[in-house]
Amino acid sequence: MKTQVAIIGAGPAGMFLAHMLRRANIDAVVLERRDRDYVEGRVRAGVLEQIAVDVMRDLDLAGRLDKEGLVHGGTNLSLDGELFHIDMEKLTGGKTVTVYGQQEVMHDLFEAAGERGVDIIWNAGDVSLHGLDGDNPVVRFVQNGEAKELQCDFVAGCDGFHGVSRPSIPTHVLKEFERVYPFGWLGLLADVPPANDELIYANHERGFALASMRSPTRSRYYIQCGLDEKVEDWSDERFWDELCLRLGPVAGAKVTRGPSFEKSIAPLRSFVSEPMRWGRLFLAGDAAHIVPPTGAKGLNLAVSDVVYLCEGLVEYYKNGSNSGIDHYSARALARVWKAERFSWWFTSITHRFPNMDGFDRRIQMAELDYIRGSENAQRVLAENYVGLPLK
């Protein structure tokens, strides 16, 4: 088998890149170790930056998004139950975010893939990458017990944090930067109307909480929890009680309770690997970086990564220039580190950390109070939240 670009992983980064390359008439094959139902069924992010929405529209993938996505012009912060609003649309000159679950994004990407001839090989196991530092990389894999080989010009590693792509870069080349947070998020999905028409990020003396949604009839809520806690220790009743307490009496009174149909605990970490290109291998999305979900940047960074990568590949194949692919890593990392900074900062002012003393708590309260009273501080938050521009 031969192709121009082998894409490892059919998550957001891999599938957005596949559609972009298809439109540019560049041959690509996507290898995914799982099946479609597994990939599409993973519960992930739900807030799209304006850039991600624009990319979906540009790829003619936004039919359902434009009908069902919830456009938010603002967001809310809460300090011990006292809410204040950030008017992001006003502060950023009209930019918004759209609530549209990653499961829905993946559904749209997969449905259009079949219609457009995007080549996806499902259940591709034992993937290994070879010849990445030469001119003719080879991807070997096993499908249905049969060993197969894919020859290509370039490999796009879009296979997530635990994939094979990043470890294929020599250890003397790869640099990794990580911050592991001493808590996780306990998340709950329920078919109940949201407590508010926009998100609420709550800092409470008992810990962080987030009131979010997936649709007008489906809510997504989170509370900060210890890494040693287990989902089975949290009954629905206990979760609802703790959530309402952390949101405060005003927002908590608007929470509609109901049975959950999904509940899970996700640890939080910040992670970046450098460089994002080695030889004929490019990393994109979670294969190169992880952000805590506080800033809602994970899927959005995957999109901006592959925008840069596609631009470089188009320039290579259409004009014979290496400039775009040579500058891919630096361009992508500049945006990645800004998103990491914002997600780290937003996490630091909204969560309770172990061994926080009275001074630490007062600093958090002062920071949030400063944001509440300063339009300039709100503008900085807003422009990062809706997404920094591509450069």
Q: What is the pLDDT of residues 186-201, one digit of tens each?
A: 999 999 999 999 999 9
Q: Which residues are bridge partners to 54 per DSSP?
A: none
Read off the tokens for 11.
């998550």
Neighbouring residues of 126: CB distance < 8 A, sequence distance ≥ 6: 140, 141, 142
Task: Give the active site residue among 19, 289, 297, 351.
Answer: 297
Q: Is residue 257 part of a domain?
A: no
Relative to beta strand 175-190, strand 218-225 is: antiparallel
Which domain does 127 fall in, by range? 5-48+101-178+269-346
Q: Is residue 241 part of a domain?
A: no
Q: Is residue 325 part of a domain?
A: yes
Mean pLDDT of 26-43: 94
- Phi-psi domain of 93 (left: phi exceeds 0; alpha: psi -120 through 50; beta: other): left
Per residue in 70-129, pLDDT tens?
Answer: 999 999 999 999 999 999 999 999 999 999 999 999 999 999 999 999 999 999 999 999
Sign of CA dihedral 314, 318, 323, 325: positive
End-to-end CA distance of the chain: 36
- Residue 387 has what pLDDT? 97
Answer whether 0.85 is exceeded by the pTM.
Answer: yes
Task: Give the active site residue among 293, 308, 316, 317.
Answer: 293
Q: For residue 40, what is the domain's CATH number?
A: 3.50.50.60
Strand (E) positions, the chain? 5-8, 28-31, 47-48, 70-72, 75-79, 82-86, 97-99, 119-121, 125-130, 138-143, 146-151, 154-157, 175-190, 200-204, 207-215, 218-225, 260-274, 277-278, 281-283, 289-290
Return the ∠ at Cα 74 (arms to 68 and 76), rounded to 5°. 115
Residue 38 appears among annotated catalytic residues:
no
Amino acid identity, position 213: M
Residue 201 appears among annotated catalytic residues:
yes
Q: Is residue 249 part of a domain?
A: no
Residue 90 appears among annotated catalytic residues:
no
pLDDT range class, residue 135, cuts 50, 70, 90? very high
For all residues of the chain together, what is the average pLDDT?
97
Measured distance CA(288)–CA(12) in Å, rounded: 13
Read off the tokens for 319.
């004009």
Mean pLDDT of 14-36: 98
Measured distance CA(351)–CA(267) in Å, rounded: 13
Q: What string of DSSP letters covers 107-143?
A: HHHHHHHHHHT-EEE-S-EEEEEE-TTSSS-EEEEEE
pLDDT range class, residue 65, cuts 50, 70, 90? very high
Number of H helices, E strands in the chain: 13, 20
Q: Is residue 150 part of a domain?
A: yes
Per residue in 315-372, pLDDT tens?
Answer: 999 999 999 999 999 999 999 999 999 999 999 999 999 999 999 999 999 999 999 9
Per residue in 274-293, pLDDT tens?
Answer: 999 999 999 999 999 999 99
SS3 203: strand
- Residue 43 has what pLDDT? 75
Q: Is residue 85 part of a domain?
A: no
Q: Is residue 92 part of a domain?
A: no
Residue 67 appears among annotated catalytic residues:
no
Task: Give the active site residue among 201, 308, 317, 328.
Answer: 201
Task: Give the active site residue among 72, 95, 204, 289.
Answer: 72
Measured distance CA(391)–CA(382) in Å, rounded: 19
Q: Is residue 335 part of a domain?
A: yes
pLDDT range class, residue 302, cuts 50, 70, 90? very high
The number of distinct structural domains making up the chain is 1
Measured distance CA(48)–CA(51) in Å, rounded: 8
Task: Give the active site residue among 222, 316, 328, 385.
Answer: 385
Residue 327 appears among annotated catalytic residues:
no
pLDDT range class, residue 252, cuts 50, 70, 90? very high
Taking CA atoms, 15 is separated from 48, 110, 118, 198, in Å, by 16, 8, 9, 29
Task: Report which of 216, 333, 326 is spatially closest to residue 279, judged by C-alpha positions.
Answer: 326
